[in-house]
Every structure is written in C-alpha cells, then in structure tokens.
Structure 1
Amino acid sequence: MPPSNPARPLENKLAIVTGASRGIGAAIAENLASRGANLIINYTSASSTDLANDLASRLAQEYNIKASHVQADIGTPEGVQKLIEFAKQAAASNSSKFQIDIIINNAGIADNAPLPQITTAQFENTYRVNVLGPLLLVQAAQPYLPQDRSGRIINISSVSSSCGFVGQSVYGGTKAAIEAMTRTWSRELAENCTVNAVNPGPVEGPMYASNSPEFLENIEGWIKHTPLMKSREGDEPQDPVMPAGTRGATTKEIAGVVGMLCGKDAKWITGQVVCANGGMVMLH
C-alpha cells in the first residue's frame, strides 16, 4: 500500500542518527526529516550540545517532525543504553509499540599515523568509536527493530577501507570492519531490516580538511583520476584543501544516497557497500 504522502515516504518512522550534530550526520538527519522521519540526533561531546539543539529545533519546525537530541558515547554499553532509553522516552507519546525503524551509524573518528607512530591508545579509541559503537548500538536496538523487513541500517564506511592510503592502518581497518559487519548483519537481521554501507571519499567539511599536508599529497592522484571529482561551472565553491580543478562531495550528496537506501524502493538491497564517492572506488 503506497504511503499517504509520496513526498514523505518515511512518515512517522523513527530514525537514530549517530554523530549527527554536524557534517554528514547533520545532512543525513535533514534528508530523513524531509522524508517525514522522526529523529533522535546523537552526539558525543558536550561542545556539540548547542549545535544538536539548534539542528533538532530547526528540523522539527521546517519539516513538521519530532526531533530530539541526546549526548551519549555509543562506544560504551552505558552510552548505548542511555541512547535507547532516551529514544523510548522521546517516542512515549506515540500509541503504537516502540520501534526503531532506521539506524544510521555515522559517528566516527580518524587519527592518521604512519605505522611506526601508531599507539595502542589510538588503535583502541578508534576501534571503540568506529567499530564497537555501531555493534553495541545495533545489538541494543535489535529487540526493537521491525519484524517485517521494513527496517533500515546504514553504516557509513569510507573509501579508506579499500584504497590503502598511507597513514590509515587503523582508520582504514575500522572501515573494513564495519563493511564486514554490514554483510553479517544483513543475514542475521534479514527478517528485521536491510543492512548496507555507504563509502564516501573526500567530503566537504572540517574532518577532511584536518588531514595533514602529507596525506593530502598522497591522495591527490586518486582524486585526479576520480571521474566525478573534476569540477565544473556551477559546482559548489571549491574546498581549498582539494587539488585545483577538483571538488569533493557535498554532505547533501552523501545524505541523498543514504536517504535513498532508507526508502521502500531499496527493499531488495542488502549486504552491500554502495559507492558514493564519485567513482574513486568501483566495487563489483
């Protein structure tokens, strides 16, 4: 049966978006809100509280949805439990049974270092946020997922899982791990939801801009050979860290792919890594 409003295909669905106060996460939250989804905007640092509050307020007003925000470290069992309990309370006014329809595992950190300089602390912290966090969240959310395969889990990966960029032994490893978990969860959760990953390349914003000059120089050849990264008249203003004549993705472009995968028309896609990187990586 088609949705009552085709322009809002996610009407009244509940979506949890981690790392959603800024960047790709905020763009994904807005995309889902525009499709009618109610939101739980998650963030980790207290410094992001104002950003998350402003985003939730704006999306609720502009798209006539319910949007709440919660500070919780999903890399810990306590943080995940806090997030789930908050989501329950936020949805308590609904008469229907509590259900988590969409999970976007977007929160992530990168701490690049060449092999001799990698520390145990860097490894443990990056894997805790990028790998353990999504695992704990999906584990805690599983009892509340739909029972009719209508749910959606989207894990934000990276081209770093495939390209072998210098200095990304740890970060690239975490993204390879999230892609492996995507395939496993697509089987284990087949009666609940589809599970897919999206692997952006360079995306506008502070996370990519924070890379070292050495890393940016190393990746330049990849960028220049990426079909859609050649800038054209009318493109968004060029990011100063991108090579001349090229552009990275906008956060809205990545969010659009995620939003597509959350829709009803994507019900036959699961266990996949969807390449949203302009052709930097082409997987079969």
Structure 2
Amino acid sequence: MAQTQATSSSSPRIHEGKLALVTGSARSIGAAIVRNLASKGCNIIVNHATEASDKAAADLCSELQTAHGVKAIWVRADISNKEGCEKIVEAAKTQFTNPQTGKLQLDILIHNAGLGFTGSLEDVTEADFYKMYSVNVLGPILLTQVFVPYLPTDRSGRIVMMSSINSKIGTEGTTLYAGSKGALEAIARVMSRELAERATVNTINPGPVMTDMYLSAPDEIKQTLARWNPVTPLVPVRPTDTPEVQELGKKFGGRAAYDYEIAGIVSMLCSPESGWCTGSLISANGGLAFSL
C-alpha cells in the first residue's frame, strides 16, 4: 500500500477565516503547505514568480476552493523587489479586506520561495551571488516589511522561514545556497524580537525532499547528502513508501522526505498551540540534525 498524505478534510479547522501567504507555492513543498493550511480553514494567497507557473497556481487555487471551501487567489510577483511585494499587498487588500472593518489582516506568512545553486567555490560569480541573495534573503525581508502593518497585534501571527540542512552541515558545492539560508536563519532570530507583539518567527531546515529540485539534482549531489543517512533515524525505507521513494532510498541508503511531511512541520509552527515558540530553528530532516 502506497504512503498517503496524512491531512484530510476531517482535520480540525483551527485556522478558520484566517489568511496565509505562501511564497513559491504553485508546486512542490509550497503547494503542500497551502493544502495543509487550507484543510484547516485558512484562506490562501499563492505566490509564484514566473508565467510558466500560472496554470499550476490557478489549478491549485481551484482545488483548494473545491476541496476545502476556502478562498484562494494566486499572484505572480517577484518578491526580490519592492514593486513585486507591493503587488501582493494590493491583491490581498482587494480580495481579503474585511467588509465590516475595512481592514486587512495577514495571519500567516511562509517564506518558501528560493533559488538553488550547486557548484564549486571556483564556479561562484558575482551575478550568481546577487541573484540568489536577492530572492533567498532580500525577498523575505522586503515581503515581511510591507506586510508588517497587516500582521495581528496580539502575537497570534505566524511567520516561518524555509532554510535548509545545507547551512547546518556545510554540504560541498553549496556556498551560495547554504550561505543564503544561514542568513535567513539569522534574520528570523532578529525578526522574532522586533515582531514579538505581532507574530512568532521560526525557521525549519529540511534535508532531501521528493521535489523537482532534489529529483533533478545529479546523483553526485544525492550521494553527498546520503553520507548522513546511516545516522539519520527516520530515513530507513518501509514497504508502505511509494515505489519511487523505495527505489531512491535503496540506491542511497535512505529515503527523502515527502513534501507533505515538511508541510506538517510548518503547520505545527502555525498552530495556536505553538505560540510560545519563536526565534527557533526546528529540525525538519528526519533527525539528520537535531533541533537545539
């Protein structure tokens, strides 16, 4: 029997009527996150950066509305510049301003969008640096900045940064990527203090996940990450895993995560019960690196 997603329409709708914005959410981990939040009653803003993802974003919004009865819109916008961030704000105002109060409130902000880059230190160029850091680091800063006026004022807001295990273990060939994710972790700690009366701010650090980025990576990259599989508690393959996961798991000595497993950890941090957790880096990698 194949592994199936744990969330269902019968899950408690703890986010009924709330609004979440998830960047990079037309597909992959971001799409899994919005599916999880929508199943709990959350209205959704799907954000993506390219025209090529328009259809995926539109189809996802239609799915969320049909399956969970929430309101979902998509906004194509580049978060690495202020204009793109303001475009999302304007869409949110148009679609989600409360007609009774005339106010907009963004309850959940997930910084999931990011660029990946693998290559040796000698391969790094200035152009690569500025491109990656503008999306992976500047983008979350600018987007949070423009939405600060619309965050809750009772600490009920939730902000989650998507980091990576690479900044923790220093995987070869990830100078730019790991560096940008390490910067994001530091930014989250600062934001957790500056926004303490508005929202909690936490970070998660996934390891390998069954996404396009991981599946399209060369076997050399997968093998580099697989060195930690012997000491990662949750990676052994089980008969209930999907055939694709079993095949890769046997090849590399342990499986990658399912996207909905990462979404579940994000959802946990967004729950009302997580209100006493902020400024933290939470393990989302099967135990490859423990939360400290």
Question: Is the TM-score greater than 0.5?
Answer: yes
Residues 167-192 of structure 1: CA deviation (Å, up to 9, x unaligned): 00110001101100110000000000
Is the 1:209–1:241 contact (alpha carbons within 8 Å) kept by the matching residues of 2?
no
1:24-43 map, 5 Å:
24-43=29-48
Q: Distance in 2 between matches of 1:116 and 1:32?
A: 41
Q: Distance in 1 between matches of 2:189 and 2:291?
A: 15
Q: Distance in 1 between matches of 2:75 and 2:183?
A: 26
Read off the aligned partner of 2:74 and give its amino acid letter. H
Is the 2:226–2:254 contact (alpha carbons within 8 Å) kept by the matching residues of 1?
no
Partner of 2:164: helix, strand, or coil? coil
Residues 120-153 of structure 1: CA deviation (Å, up to 9, x unaligned): 1111111111101000000110011110000000
Partner of 1:48: helix, strand, or coil? helix
User: Counterpart in 1 of 2:211?
Assistant: 205
Is the 1:21–1:42 contact (alpha carbons within 8 Å) kept by the matching residues of 2?
yes
Are 2:243 and 1:237 aligned? yes
Are 2:12 and 1:16 aligned? no
The alignment-based identity, stated in percent, is 45
Is the 1:100–1:146 contact (alpha carbons within 8 Å) kept by the matching residues of 2?
yes
User: Counterpart in 1 of 2:260?
Assistant: 252
1:68 to 65, 69, 73: 73
Read off the aligned partner of 1:100 and give its amino acid letter. L
Partner of 1:111: helix, strand, or coil? coil
User: Counterpart in 1 of 2:283?
Assistant: 275
Cα RMSD (Å): 1.5
Residues 215-235 of structure 1: CA deviation (Å, up to 9, x unaligned): 222222112321101111212
Shift of 1:237: 2.9
Shift of 1:241: 4.7
Q: Distance in 1 between matches of 2:244 and 2:281?
A: 27
User: Counterpart in 2 of 1:81?
Assistant: 86
Q: Distance in 2 between matches of 1:81 and 1:169?
A: 31
Question: Number of paired residues?
Answer: 280
User: Counterpart in 1 of 2:4?
Assistant: none
TM score, norm. by length of structure 2: 0.92
Read off the aligned partner of 1:127 and give its amino acid letter. Y
Shift of 1:111: 1.1
